[in-house]
Structure 1
Amino acid sequence: MTERFRRGVARQQELGGAGPRRRAYDALADVAPDLSRLAVEFAYGDIHSRPGLDAAQRELVILGALITTGGVEPQLEAHIGSALAAGLAPRAVVEAIMQAIPYAGFPRVFAAMAIARRVFDDRNLLPLQ
């Protein structure tokens, strides 16, 4: 296990563990066994662990990127959970998703909000206060 991988796993643990990410990684292990290692090393060990932004700020950036990309529902679900674990309030997550309307459009924002609702419901955070 490389130092980059250890650093990435530690960062994932800070953000609530691998959870939904692990399912995505495991689903492709028979086709691309190195893919999850590379994702952990690069995305979490190298990029997410950099100084300059705290974990909550990074998760806001990631949410915006995922919403505008579209078609990345498992990643969006995982990062909404990570945003909550990083200390963002559910209302802040909702506002971040709403902020994407002018840039990503209503369909992608509605899809993202439905995923956020599911994450909030799974964590017994509904109704939002």
Structure 2
Amino acid sequence: MLALKDVVAERKLEGKQDEAGVMHSSSTLKGVSRYALGAQTLNTLHANQVENLESTFKDISPDLARLVIEYGFSDIFSRSALDSKHREMATIAALTAMGTATPQLKFHIKAALHIGVSQIEIREIMILMSVYCGFPAAINGTLALKGVINESDVK
């Protein structure tokens, strides 16, 4: 954010006017709980994922599942400034760069394919990641993509 602030300041000195930052709402649905909005958002990416999260963590940390749903998918993923395709593409790039989140990367690759991001676009993300986070991360990301493509539930 500080880098963005510096770039905007430089552009202003050049006479370019950028739209000022505004608060984006995570919900345009009045009266909908954060949990309900997050669950709705998450289930549009992958059916039954809310139930999967809840069952995975119910015995050890049910609060973690709730936080992922409320914060990750209500407060963040449902924001209006990026469409779901661009948000998934950015998420795939970040998870690839991390190199430590293969299950989450596979989930988001599946979600991206489900909402219309193409295999070609995801392959290009992996190639781009070779520049910014190295070939090992790009190779691991590509192998995650390959694994998802080879699964039977992915069209």
TM-score for both structures, normalised by structure 2? 0.72
Equivalent residue number for residue 44 of structure 1:
73
Aligned length: 124
1:12 aligns with 2:42: yes
Quick check: 1:97–1:112 contact (8 Å CA) kept in 2?
yes
Change (3 A) 1:113 1:24: farther
1:55 counterpart residue number: 84
Percent identical residues? 28
Q: Return 5+ residue gaps in structure 2 as ranges.
A: 1-31
With 114-123 and 58-67 compared, the bigger mean Cα shift is at 114-123
Q: Is the 8 A contact 1:67 1:109 kept in 2?
A: yes
Q: Distance in 1 between matches of 2:153 and 2:55?
A: 27
Runs of 4+ that moved beyond 2 A? 16-19, 21-29, 123-126
In the other structure, the counterpart of 1:89 is: 118
Structure with more relative contact order (C-alpha pairs < 8 Å, separation 6 or more)? 1
Task: State which structure, 1 or 2, has the greater radius of gyration over its C-alpha atoms.
Answer: 2
Give the Cα separation in 2 of the matches to 1:18 and 1:106. 34
Alignment match of 2:151 (pick from 116, 122, 128): 122
Alignment counterpart, residue 102 of structure 2, candidates 58, 69, 73: 73
Deviation at 1:26, TM superposition (A): 3.5
* Structure 1 unaligned regions, length at least 5: none
Does structure 1 retain, via aligned residues, the 8 Å contact 2:110–2:154?
no
- d(CA) in 2 for partners of 1:29, 1:125: 27
Q: Is the Cα–Cα contact under 8 Å of residues 24 and 74 in structure 1 kept in the other structure?
A: no
Contact between 1:8 and 1:43, CA under 8 Å: does it hold in 2? yes
CA RMSD, Structure 1 to Structure 2 (Å): 2.1
Q: What is the CA deviation profile of residues 16-44 of structure 1, one whole-angstrom value per residue up to 9, with x for unaligned ones?
A: 2254x865654333221110111011110
Q: TM-score under structure 1 normalisation?
A: 0.85
Task: Name the stretch that deviates more: 115-124 or 96-105.
Answer: 115-124
Q: What's the CA shift for 1:122?
A: 1.3
Secondary structure of the structure 2 residue equivalent to 1:82: helix
